[in-house]
Amino acid sequence: MKTIIFILLFFSTFDSGSFKLINEVNINSEYFTTDNLGNVYTINNKQLTKFDKEGNKICEYNNSYLGNITSIDVSNPLRILIFYKDFNQIVFLDNTLSTISSPINLSDIDVDEATLVCGSNQNGFIVLNSQTKKICKYDKNLKLVYESFNLGLFVGREFISNEMFEKNGFVYLNIPNKGILVFDMYGVYWKTIYIRNLKSFQIKGDNILYCSNNSLQKYNFKTLKSESLQLPDAANVVNCSIEEDRLYILKANKLLIYQIVNE
């Protein structure tokens, strides 16, 4: 119920809300993400740093043996997935950024080259296999649960994808020049959402949120209605994110944290 209230609070700001700056955090990162508790995660090469919703640093993680971090999935803040593409390995961390288990070498499950990896329900994970062009889900025991069809037959053999995550029983795969491909819980293709050239996005209810042209865009994929919200201090925005009553804006070397105030 709390999450629903905050979603409604945010959506009301498209018409009548305002923002109160509560912190400006200096960071050396061009990437950040947020979990559903409002915590912020930034990546700087090998280092992962976690901040609370007020912008206070909580903890850090660094594994010098596995090289630079490619991506992270914090959809489950108690089981954070880190993907190291150069070494084809993944690591799971708890909420203190301590390792839960030894690194998993994806080659051991016959995935010799992964493009993207994200977490899944029941402590599993999902891999986009760059060789087979299939989305494959594995359970916590590293057993294959399902695999999709060859996506290259649908979107082109040399397609480029930049983000994948599971949300509400669906898998969302972003292919910037095509749109967002959506798959059901069995890996069956459902539909394509034709929003192109996205770097990242969020799913909130029936809405897709993403940053474009220094503004926050909201697209309802059921009603097909789009809305735009001008961001505070909107110049040179790299990315933005919404969690509960917080708006996060990434700029060059700094992260701005705003409280959403419903007027």
Asked if the structure places residue 241 within a domain, the reply is yes
pLDDT digits (tens, 9 = 90+) for 14-30: 544 589 999 999 998 88
- If one counts the domains in the chain, the total is 1
Angle at 32 between CA 163 and CA 250, to 5 degrees: 115
Asked if the structure places residue 232 within a domain, the reply is yes
Place of tokens 């993907």: 83
CB distance 128 to 120 below 8 Å: no
C-alpha to C-alpha distance for 100 and 60, rounded to whole angstroms: 15
Asked if the structure places residue 4 within a domain, the reply is yes
Asked if the structure places residue 14 within a domain, the reply is yes
pLDDT digits (tens, 9 = 90+) for 182-227: 999 999 999 999 999 999 999 998 999 999 988 999 999 889 999 9
Asked if the structure places residue 128 within a domain, the reply is no
Q: For 89-114, what is the mean pLDDT?
A: 97
Beta bridge partners of 74: none
Mean pLDDT over each residue of the chain, to the nearest integer: 92
pLDDT band of residue 1 (cuts 50, 70, 90) is: very low
CA-based nearest residue to 243, from 19, 31, 33, 17? 33
Asked if the structure places residue 170 within a domain, the reply is no
Q: For 145-168, what is the mean pLDDT?
A: 95
Q: For 251-260, what is the mean pLDDT?
A: 93
Q: For 1-9, what is the mean pLDDT?
A: 49
Q: Tell me: pLDDT of 12 over 80.
A: no
Asked if the structure places residue 148 within a domain, the reply is no
Asked if the structure places residue 117 within a domain, the reply is no
Residue 25: domain span: 1-30+215-263
